[in-house]
A and B are shown apart, each in its own frame.
Chain A
Amino acid sequence: MTGAGGYDPHRLAGAYALDAMDDDLERLRFEEHLRTCDECAQEVRGLTETAARLGQAVAAEPPPGMRAAVLAEIGQVRQLPPTVGVPPGGRRLSRRGGAAWWPRVTAGLAAAGVAASVALGAVAVRTQDELERVRADDRGVVAVLAAPDARTVSATAGRGATGTAVVSRSQGRLVFVSSGLAALPPSQTYQLWRIAPGAIRSAGLLRPDDSGRVPPVIVDTAGVEQVGVTVEPAGGSAQPTTRPMLLLDLTSA
């Protein structure tokens, strides 16, 4: 079975099970395919199990302090609930006996998060709940990421902050994701801007999670040449009041 553009998902099961795909869009397509192809999901399951055997074979004695450190840490880590709840403001989607089990799926949907960290070489791992929220909130994210004309633009700021936009002209939208954003005092917030010639409009406030990541934001690209992130007073501003810490030029995308 060969899909559009000669894309044959079936051939990718091995690379997928080995975490050897470096093209997040390709991976996302493969994961979409897995959700509808039971045979493929079953094959991936067996190959993932096989890959795990390769891992077991290289077991090594962990450093002596690790056990105590892990046990101490879990005392302070809240566990995820077992079921997919209705996300705040979201809607429950029925999910096909899904492949959400696989961390790769997790990482891929969250490639929803970071389709293009490829370009940065930094693939963020997102947690399952974030991804599920992403999925439930808006399949539009996937539509942009999987669009044949999706292009990636990235920028970095000091201390590891990165912003990535996956732009699809055919969809007229982009997906903006960011990671490495330092926590701000309560009096400040990050704000995303759509920048068109002569007009700057807010594209919303960004609320990084504890690990500095921001869930994907969909932005309308009509007339927009750049997107930028600034630090603003809590609640946001009508117009940017500080220099953008991240600025992404879309004109080449």
Chain B
Amino acid sequence: MGRVARGDHAAFEEVYDQVAGQVYGLVLRVLRNPAQSEEVAQDVLVEVWRSAARYDPSKGSARAWVMTVAHRRAVDRVRSAQAAATREERVARLDVRRPFDEVADSVERTLDVERLRRCLNGLTELQRESVTFAYYEGYTYREVAELLKVPLATVKTRMRDGLIRMRDCLGVER
């Protein structure tokens, strides 16, 4: 990333090859629409180039930084596409699809994913749903609370303790 920050195109290509699939996959997971996802993923990757000098390794891995930018952009797109009025409607007509199952089905080939699946399975149902609806569907905690019919405070807490449990299960460095 240091070389990218110094304007090294070859270094950026290496970074691109490592993260593009993850960026596109995440954006697609949240947005569902391939054309929109391509546009957003492209923006994200250009932003990585543009802001590379602002990435601070002491604050986390480069990959997490890129993925955070990608998630943020995808979620912004989802939310901007939903006018305030239609958001309630959206929550109201949410299907009860379980995002986690879908995810597990599509990617259970690799060991990492297998591990992620195992860790997700180690969460309580409410933790798992709070985390995955927020992350994969781009729902706010308010929407998740509405969807799952639980108090806001509970959802906030489950998001936090669910992620903490995931962190520990995955052995993410602190």
CA distance A46 to B87 in the complex (A): 30
- Could you mark each residue 3-22 of chain B with 1 if its beta carbon is under 8 Å from any beta carbon of chain A, else 0? 00101010011001000111
User: Does residue B46 face the partner (Cβ distance < 8 Å to A)?
Assistant: yes
CA distance A67 to B24 in the complex (A): 11
Neighbouring B residues of A80 by C-beta, 8 Å:
50-51, 53-54
Known: A19-B134, A52-B67, A58-B106. A125 touches B38 (CB 8 A): no
CA distance A42 to B16 in the complex (A): 28
Q: Is the CB of A49 within 8 A of B80?
A: no
User: Does residue A198 face the partner (Cβ distance < 8 Å to B)?
Assistant: no
Task: Specify which of B5, B103, B163 lies most central, judged by the most chain A CB atoms within 10 Å of its CB.
Answer: B163
Minimum C-beta distance from A161 to chain B (A): 14
Contact of A62 among B5, B41, B59, B158 (CB under 8 A): B41
Q: Is the CB of B107 within 8 A of A119?
A: no
Neighbouring B residues of A81 by C-beta, 8 Å:
53
CA distance A52 to B68 in the complex (A): 7
Neighbouring A residues of B172 by C-beta, 8 Å:
46, 49-50, 53
Neighbouring B residues of A100 by C-beta, 8 Å:
54, 56
Q: Is the CB of B103 within 8 A of A46?
A: no
User: Does residue B60 face the partner (Cβ distance < 8 Å to A)?
Assistant: yes
State how many residues of chain A have any CB contact under 8 Å with chain B: 64
Contact of A120 among B24, B54, B84, B142 (CB under 8 A): B84
- Could you mark each residue 121-158 of chain B with 1 if its beta carbon is under 8 Å from any beta carbon of chain A, else 0? 00000000011101110111111100000000101111
Q: Is the CB of A12 within 8 A of B156?
A: yes
CA distance A123 to B143 in the complex (A): 16
Q: Is the CB of B163 within 8 A of A47?
A: yes
User: Does residue A5 face the partner (Cβ distance < 8 Å to B)?
Assistant: no
User: Does residue B98 face the partner (Cβ distance < 8 Å to A)?
Assistant: no
Question: Interface range on chain B: under 10, 10 to 19, 20 to 34, or 35 or more?
Answer: 35 or more
Q: Is the CB of B71 within 8 A of A123?
A: no
CA distance A120 to B104 in the complex (A): 34
Contact of B79 among A56, A78, A121, A128 (CB under 8 A): A121
CA distance A67 to B49 in the complex (A): 13
CA distance A62 to B7 in the complex (A): 24
CA distance A42 to B162 in the complex (A): 17
Neighbouring B residues of A117 by C-beta, 8 Å:
80
Minimum C-beta distance from B70 to chain A (A): 7
Neighbouring A residues of B173 by C-beta, 8 Å:
46, 49
Contact of B80 among A22, A47, A78, A123 (CB under 8 A): A123
Q: Is the CB of B141 within 8 A of A20?
A: yes
User: Does residue A55 face the partner (Cβ distance < 8 Å to B)?
Assistant: yes
Neighbouring B residues of A234 by C-beta, 8 Å:
none
- 9 closest Cβ pairs, A-B complex: A14-B160, A14-B159, A22-B140, A101-B59, A60-B25, A82-B53, A52-B67, A20-B134, A62-B24
Minimum C-beta distance from A55 to chain B (A): 4
Q: Which of A68-76, A170-178, A241-249 contacts B (4 or more CB under 8 A)?
A: A68-76
- Could you mark each residue 137-159 of chain A with 1 if its beta carbon is under 8 Å from any beta carbon of chain B, else 0? 00000000000000000000000
Q: Is the CB of A58 within 8 A of B107?
A: yes
Query: 24 pairs across A/B with beta carbons < 8 Å?
Result: A14-B131, A14-B158, A15-B141, A17-B163, A20-B141, A22-B142, A46-B174, A47-B160, A49-B173, A52-B67, A53-B112, A56-B22, A60-B21, A61-B21, A63-B34, A66-B24, A66-B41, A67-B20, A69-B42, A71-B12, A74-B49, A79-B52, A100-B54, A101-B65
Q: Is the CB of A125 within 8 A of B22?
A: no
Neighbouring B residues of A127 by C-beta, 8 Å:
50-51
User: Does residue A218 face the partner (Cβ distance < 8 Å to B)?
Assistant: no
Neighbouring A residues of B142 by C-beta, 8 Å:
22
Known: A14-B161, A20-B144. A42 touches B174 (CB 8 A): yes
Known: A47-B160, A104-B68, A125-B73. A58 touches B49 (CB 8 A): no
Residue of B nearest to A17 (CB): B163
Known: A55-B22, A80-B54. A70 touches B16 (CB 8 A): yes
